[in-house]
Every structure is written in C-alpha cells, then in structure tokens.
A and B are shown apart, each in its own frame.
Chain A
Amino acid sequence: MKKILQIGWKDLRVIFRDRAALILMLLAPFAMTVGMGLVTGTLSSSGGGLSQVPVVVVNLDQSTLGVALTEVLMSPELSQLLAVEENNDVAAARAMVDADKTAAVVIIPTGFTASVIPQAGQSSSADAQIELYKNPSWPISSDIVQSIVESFLNEVETGRIGGQVAVAQLIASGLVSQQQAAEVGMQIGTRLANEQSNMQTLTLNTRQTSVSEEPNFLMYIAPGFALLFLMYTVSLGGKTLLTERQEGTLTRLMTTPTGPSQVLVGKMAGTYMIGLAQMTILIVASALLLGLRWGDPLAVAILLLTTVAAATGWGMLLAALSRTPGQVSSIGMAMTLLFGLVGGSFFGGTLPGVVGYIGMLTPNYWGQTGFNTLARGGDLQDLLPVYAVLLAMAAILLVISVFIFRRKGLLQR
C-alpha cells in the first residue's frame, strides 16, 4: 500500500511542477468560467440574459397611437430590456441598422392613428403600416422587438374591433338606434381604450424563481468546465505510464521489489489523486473568488470522489489502448472535447435527445447532473443514483483497462 501511495504521490508532484499542465488543468477552466460569467452578464450587475437591446423609434404619426407605442417601448417595465432612442429621420435610422449599430428600427408612419381609428364615414384601412426594419445579425433581439410591437398592435386591434362589435350588437338588439350609434361608439371606444386591462380576459401570471432560490448560472457552468478539463487531466495521468515505459524509468522500477500490479495501481492512484486535487482546487477557488455556494459539503466530497474515479477509468482505458504518449495526448484532447460536448460540460446542463443518451457514457454527464442537483439544493440522498452510476463506470473501465494492460504485456518485468 505504501509503495502504491508513493508512486501516486510522485506522479502528483511531477504534474503539479509542470507549468504547462497547470495551465490546462487550472487556468483554462477558471478562465472559461470567468469568461462565461462575463458574456452572460452573470458576473455583472445586469444579471444575465438579453439587456439594453438598442432600438430606434421613428414616430412620424405624432398622434394617439404613435405616441402610445413610443411610450410602451420606452416604458419603465421594458427599460432593462430595451435601450430606445427616438429619431425623426427615417434614412438616418435605417443607416443605423445598415451599420449594425442597432437591432431594429420601428417606423410609425404619418397617418397611422387615422388609419386605425377612422374618422366618421370612413373605414379602418391598412394604408399606413408600421414598418419594423430588422437587423438580421441581431436575430433574437429583433424578434423580441417584433413581439412587443405585435402585442401592442394586437391590443389596439382588440380595442378597435371591440368598439365596433359592441356598437353593431347594440344596434342589432335594438338597444341603441342608428342615430345614436356614432355617439355611443365614441363613448365605448373611449371607455375600452381607458380600460385596456379589462379587455385582457386571458393574462399571464409570470413567476420567476427568485434569485435567492435559484442558483447563479455560474453554478452550472463552473462544474461543467472543471469536468471538461478533468478529462484532459486523467488522460495526462495515463500518458505518464507510457512515457515512463518509453523513457525506460518503468523498466528500472520493475527491477526494484515492486510488483507489476503495484505499479499499475500506483499509476491509477496517481491519476486519481491529480484529478481529485484539480477538482478540489477549482471548487474551492470558485467558492472563494466567485462566491459560488456548492451545497452540502459531504455530498460534494463524495461526488468529487466518484466522478474522478469514473474519469480515471477513462484515462486508464485510453492509456491501455494507446501505443505512444503522443497518441494519448492527441486522443486525450479529442476525448476531452467530445465528452465535454455530448456530456453537456460546455452548456452547464445535459443535452436533449440522442446526444443526451450518448452523453450518459461520460463522467461529464453524471458529474454535471450531480452538481446541478446540488446547486438546486439537493442532498446526499438525491445523489445516490449518480454515485452508483459513477462507481459502476469506474469499476467496469478499470477492470477492462487492467485486462488490456495484461494482455499487451505492458507491465512485464
């Protein structure tokens, strides 16, 4: 046992002295987490998601509806989502989209109000349409602006048709005469316009889990990147076995009273200890520097132990199947990236569909599932199935690796 630990400890020290390895093991995942925090706004006061979408409004109507739409777009409720600028020059506003300076331009044409609310004796027409000039390189933002404008128009149309239907029905039922129609219509129209909320018989009661209840987005993505680079680390651990064989140090080790099994288990222990140290450092660093709360410490600890065990299994299998250290490096990096993709490490969550099922073969998938459960307040009991799968994965992969190592005679004296 002492020899096994000594071999493992030696590998751990060698790796942690290698600056190049430390860059990928510690710096890269941490930098990616911080980068993700920046681009999603999680690290800033904006709190993440789309915000301050630039929109230009050209109100050529300057009447009731034109002013109302401008007010809706500039309302306090939308002030975090939209950054609205008014401009009276259509060409200048369009040029802003052409120059990729704004997500969309809303052009309210002259006579828009008059075309929706016709004067006596005229009917509603579509002569004056609102133009939404969208920037195709801002597809999500401009779609949201379109949705907001369409919602407004829907309300306007509901009010207009509401007034017309009410008057027509009153006339048909004999409650008002044709002569009274214009006057009653005006009263109803005014009333409906002032009581727009009464027209909304079906409403959305939007609830957002409060920030204190729901974990920060970084709580999902930080373990994702840590798991991504854990796979690189375990391949590096497997690589040391082949490097030692190539450089002759393994042969020298075999001349000492150390059995092949002890060497192999020592190498596995080394890889395991390196992975464990990497994950622990990343977890502690993100808790201290980014303020992330990882949940029940015991559950986190067991999750780390089991995830690193499963990852070590993959690292050993890779070493067993490879012929040269260079091969382990290249295929190890490919494995790191592919496992990260299908296991959901790049997204902080598992992927849907067939890709999600393929991802289940990776420690990334189960590790991510475990960390996400903890982030939402899960405890040790919730994680029991995750632990079981990871341990089973570790056991199966390590047994296969040992079998291949023996078959290839890698550790013969």
Chain B
Amino acid sequence: MSKIIAIALKDMNIRFSGKTELLFFLILPLIFTLLLSGVLFGGGASKIVMVVVDEDNSDLSQRLVSLLQSSEAVAPSILAREKAQETLDNRDAAAILIIPSGMESNLKAGQAVSLDFTLDPSNNNGLAVQQEVQNAISKISRSLAVASASTREAENIQPFTDATQRQAYYDQSLVAARQMFDTAPIRIVITQPKNTVEIQSQKETQAAQASAGQLIIWVFIPLLGTSELMAYERVWGTLRRLVTTPTRKPTFLLGTITGQLSYGLIQMLMLVVIGVVLLKVPWGQNPLALLLLLISFGLASVAMGTMLGTFTRTPSQANGLSISLGMVMGLLGGCMWPLEMFPPAVANVAKILPTTWAMMGMTQLTVYNAGLLQILPYAAVLCGFAVVFFIVGIWRFRYE
C-alpha cells in the first residue's frame, strides 16, 4: 500500500512541477465554463439572436417587438434593413423579421399582411426562432383576425352603407374579441417528471450544459495524459529502474492510476463547486450519486490513458493524441453541443464513447435529481469501459 501511495505522490509531484499546470487544472476550465454558460462578459448565447426591422413603427408592431423581447428563447435587436441583412450575412443572427410599413393600417382595414422572415439555413436554431415568431404574431393578430371575420359575416348578410359604418362594426368586434381572448380559459398545462428540478430557463439549461460538458473535457484530457506520464518514464528510463526494485507490474500501474485518479477527482470536485456557486447548477442534490459517477468517469478516463500509454512511444506523441482524442471524444459525447441536437443515428453511435455516458449521467444528476440507483447504469457502463481499457493496458504494458 505504501508503494502505491509513494508512486501516486510522485506522479502528482511531477504533474504540478510546472507553474503552468494550474492553467489547465483550474484557470482555463473556469474561463471556458463561465464563457460558454454566458456568465462572463455576457458571452456565449443564452438566447438565440435575431433581428427585427420595424418599418411600420405602429402600436401593433411595437407590441410584436415587446412580445419577442419578453421571450425566453430569442433576443431580438432592432435594426434598419441594410444593417439587418449585413448582420445575417455575417452570421451574427439566426433570422430577420421584417415588419413592413402599413402593417397595422392594412390589418385594421381587414387586409391580410405577410411578414418576410429570412432564416440562416446554417444556423441550427432557425426552427426554434420560427416557432417563437409564429407564436408572437398569432398572439398579436388573433383579435384582428376575429374582428375581420366578424365584419365579413355581417357583410355577407347585408352590405354596409358606407366605410364609416363598416369601420364602426369592425371596431366593436375588435373590442369584443380582445375581451374574450383576455378571459379565455388556459387550455394547456406544462408538466415534467416529479423528481426533476424545476422547469429550467434556457439560461439555466445552458449553464448546466456548460458546467457538465467543460468538466468532462477538462478532466478527460489530462487523465488521458496518463499516457504521457508513462511514455515520459519509459523514455527517461525510470521504468527500467523500477524493475530492479521489488515492485510488481500491477503495483506500479495501481500507483499511477491512484495518483491520476486523485488529480482528476480533486479537479472535478473544484469544477462542481464552481458550477454550484457561480452558475447555480444543481450538482449537489445527491452527493453519493455524484461521487459514484465522478469516480467511475475518472476510472474510465485514467484506464484509457493507461491503454493509450502502451501504444505511444514518446511523451509528445502521447500528449498530442490525448488532446486530439479528448477534444474529438468530448465533441461527439455531447460536451460542446447538446446531445439532443445530434442526428439520431450519430447520437446512437456516440454511445460507444465514455464521454457520452459521462454526459448522460451528469444530465441525469443536474436535470433529473438522479439518486444512487438511477446513476448505477451509467456508472456501471463507465466502469465497464475502465475494465476493458485496463485489461488491454496491462496486457500491452512493458517496462521498456
């Protein structure tokens, strides 16, 4: 046991021998998490940016704009037509809505009006914006639509004598319609599973995604870096020296794993605390479940690093592979881009990665308040990865 602890402490010493280690251990993960959650400098994208060109500048158009401004999903900015097109061209907005001059007067005259809505097809949020805008225009136009229909029905029975009489009939219908809409019963109720945290706003969802995603990436890459540590010892001949001591292969590997796992666990716990304190992410509802998931993810990552270490020759080769694999597996595991946005086939294939299971497990914790029992399947799969990687690692491990 003392040998294992000694090897673990030695590895931790090597890891923190340079001052710059703190950059990757805490500073960069913190900056990335805060920026991507939208906390730092208002960065990231807590709402989907869209542009509104209000050429009507009427009460009705302003009602439409304020409805969009109160939306949880979109953040409209009001611009002139040329500037709006430029913004879309620069991909700084997902869509443009143009409210043409004369919209309110035409609607009041019973004429249909069409609003030009241009979507950036390369923006994945286009559909969400479209639904939000559709809802907003339905809300502002429904009373007008009812007043028009009512006036049309009266006209069908007996034509109006003049425009004034028609307008008066329309106005009365409009008042009646607005009153009825104001007192209309609510026909939809939104619910969610009982054990889940309160329905989250887009901002909270984004914070939870950033906190979990960045935790996985920033811990996974250094733990894959176990491979670099092994290559380093091999290149400098310290592994050969170990052969001369009464240290068996499993003891050495266990010591290395313990050191790296402790490093990963300390880092993960710090990032969890940052998530709770700065981003209000509900990480700590079930501490035991959280700990189980973190340990199993740490084990899978270290095991993969150990396995990788037996395939690489030099520390720089191991370093390059760890960073590349870590970033790609983080991306495909849903750490940068929510899993729900993936095409279904890709989402299924991504389940062969430990990062995907870690992300799914962390979503269970932050969204579903998952307890120990619910986390067990995710932890079991991660431990399964760890076993497979360790077996390959031990099988291929050589002192020289």
Contact = CB atoms under 8 A, between A and B. Distances in A.
Interface of A: 18-21, 23-24, 27-28, 31-32, 35-36, 38-41, 44, 46, 48-53, 81, 83, 94, 97-98, 100, 103, 116, 124-126, 129-141, 143-144, 146-151, 153-158, 161-162, 164-166, 168-170, 172-173, 175-176, 188, 192, 198-211, 214-217, 220, 326-327, 330-331, 333-334, 337-338, 341-342, 346, 348-355, 358, 372, 376
Nearest to A38: B346
Contacts, number: 340
Interface of B: 18, 20-21, 23-24, 28, 31-32, 35, 40-45, 49, 73, 89-92, 103, 107, 110-122, 124, 126-128, 130-135, 137-142, 144-150, 153-154, 157-158, 169, 172-173, 176-177, 180-181, 184-193, 196-197, 199-200, 202, 205, 314, 316-321, 323-324, 327-328, 331-332, 336-338, 340-346, 360, 363-364, 367-368
B349 to A, nearest CB: 8
Nearest to A332: B20
A179 B307 CA distance: 86
Nearest to B199: A136
A158 B127 CA distance: 24
Nearest to B198: A136
Contact of B115 (A202, A352, A358): A202
Interface-central residue, A135, A165, A199, A350, by most chain B CB under 10 Å: A165
A281 to B, nearest CB: 16
24 contacts: A20-B316, A21-B316, A36-B337, A38-B342, A39-B331, A39-B346, A40-B341, A49-B124, A98-B193, A129-B188, A136-B193, A139-B200, A143-B131, A162-B150, A169-B154, A200-B145, A201-B113, A202-B103, A203-B112, A204-B133, A204-B134, A205-B117, A215-B122, A334-B28
A24 B324 contact: yes
A23 B314 CA distance: 13
A210 B388 CA distance: 47
A384 B184 CA distance: 59
Given A103-B340, A201-B141, A204-B117, A133 B20 contact: no
Contacts of A151: 131, 134-135, 138
Given A24-B323, A35-B328, A136-B197, 18 more contacts: A21-B316, A38-B346, A39-B341, A39-B346, A97-B193, A103-B340, A130-B188, A134-B199, A151-B134, A161-B177, A204-B134, A207-B117, A220-B122, A333-B24, A342-B35, A348-B91, A349-B91, A355-B42
**List of 3 A-B pairs having minimum Cβ-Cβ separation, nearest first:** A126-B185, A202-B141, A330-B20
Given A40-B337, A205-B117, A139 B202 contact: yes
